[in-house]
């Protein structure tokens, strides 16, 4: 059962607000296929022919772009109820790989286009979703401009805290399934700087890392302040 996560541009409700009707779910399920993939599975590669749009049911996926220099930039981490499969002129613009074992729905891009044109209300929900993503991408582009490593990392931790338990920052321990280098490639720092930034957050008493994949947020207010200090 596919779903979508986004804040509508119109209504004043916020949080995860897009709910598909049973009919819409059925329509989607009809053209889609469900599949499970283990972690570190390459789902598709950039420049390859774009045949499907994917929806995440469960798990985490990263979307990354290989640059001419050989570096990899992580464009986005994707979570349950996110869509992916962004294409341009029939080719995917990024590569995607599962970070954890994941359950996905996959829709043939042509069938989906036909369905959306027929069902104006369903298409509208997709429009909301893409608009939501656009907003997030812009926000990230703005935040990423800051130079200081600690601020960038704080931003990332905040970002993860908001998705994981969307009871923003109250579940004080957040899981970060991805590697340090993935985080570095996402926030635009070197892995070394990420490591130092982690130490810096601990030093300031904002958050401590417990093993590779867990952060405990000690001072939510202080963290938010650092995030906003742009």
Partner DNA sequence: CGGTTGGTTGAGCTGTATCAAAAGATGTGG
Partner DNA sequence: CCACATCTTTTGATACAGCTCAACCAACCG
Binding site for a copy of itself (CB under 8 A): 7-14, 50, 65, 67-69, 71, 73, 75-76, 86-90, 93-94, 109-110, 113, 116-121, 123-124, 126-127, 130-131, 133-135, 137-142, 144-145, 188, 228-230
Does 41 contact DNA by CB under 7 A?
no
Does 212 contact DNA by CB under 7 A?
yes
Q: Which of 65, 180, 204, 224 binds DNA (CB under 7 A)?
A: 180
Spell out, one character per residue from 148 to 167, where the chain touches DNA: x when CB under 7 A holds, - when not: xxx-----------------
For DNA, the closer CB: 70 or 90: 70
What sign results for the dihedral spanned by CA atoms 161, 170, 6, 23? positive
Select the binding partner of residue 179 from DNA, a copy of itself, none (C-beta < 5 to 8 A, by kind): DNA
Q: Which of 3, 46, 179, 219 binds DNA (CB under 7 A)?
A: 179
Residue 152 CB, nearest approach to DNA (Å)? 7
Select the binding partner of residue 50 from a copy of itself, DNA, none (C-beta < 5 to 8 A, by kind): a copy of itself
CA distance 155 to 227: 5
Residue 144 CB, nearest approach to a copy of itself (Å)? 6
CA distance 83 to 58: 12
Select the binding partner of residue 126 from a copy of itself, DNA, none (C-beta < 5 to 8 A, by kind): a copy of itself
DSSP 172-213: -EEE--S-HHHHHHHHT--HHHHHHHHHHHHHTTSEEE-SSS
CA distance 43 to 58: 15
Measure Cα distances from 95 to 55, 65, 81, 86, 109 in Å. Answer: 15, 6, 19, 10, 17
Residue 36 CB, nearest approach to a copy of itself (Å)? 26
For a copy of itself, the closer CB: 50 or 202: 50
Bridge partners, 215 (sequence order) = 174, 209
Write out the residues near DNA by the rule CB under 7 A: 147-150, 179-181, 188-196, 198-199, 209, 211-212
């Amino acid at each position: 059962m596919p779903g979508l996560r986004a804040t509508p541009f119109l209504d004043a409700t916020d949080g995860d607000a897009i709910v598909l009707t049973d009919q819409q779910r059925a329509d989607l399920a009809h053209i889609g296929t469900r599949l499970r993939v283990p972690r570190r599975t390459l789902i598709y590669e950039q420049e390859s022919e774009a045949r499907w749009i994917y929806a995440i049911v469960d798990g985490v996926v990263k979307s990354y772009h290989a640059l001419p220099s050989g570096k990899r930039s992580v464009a986005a981490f994707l979570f349950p109820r996110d869509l992916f499969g962004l294409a341009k002129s029939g080719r995917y613009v990024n590569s995607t790989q599962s970070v954890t074992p994941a359950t996905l729905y996959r829709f043939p891009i042509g069938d989906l286009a036909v369905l959306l044109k027929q069902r104006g209300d369903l298409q509208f929900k997709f429009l909301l979703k893409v608009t939501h993503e656009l907003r997030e991408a812009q926000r990230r582009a703005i935040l990423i401009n800051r130079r200081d490593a600690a601020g960038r990392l704080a931003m990332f931790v905040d970002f993860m805290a908001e998705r994981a338990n969307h009871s923003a920052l109250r579940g004080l321990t957040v899981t970060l399934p991805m590697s340090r280098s993935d985080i570095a490639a996402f926030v635009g720092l070197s892995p070394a700087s990420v490591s130092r930034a982690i130490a810096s957050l601990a030093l300031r008493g904002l958050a401590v890392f417990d093993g590779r994949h867990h952060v405990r947020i000690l001072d939510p207010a202080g963290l938010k302040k650092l995030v906003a200090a742009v």
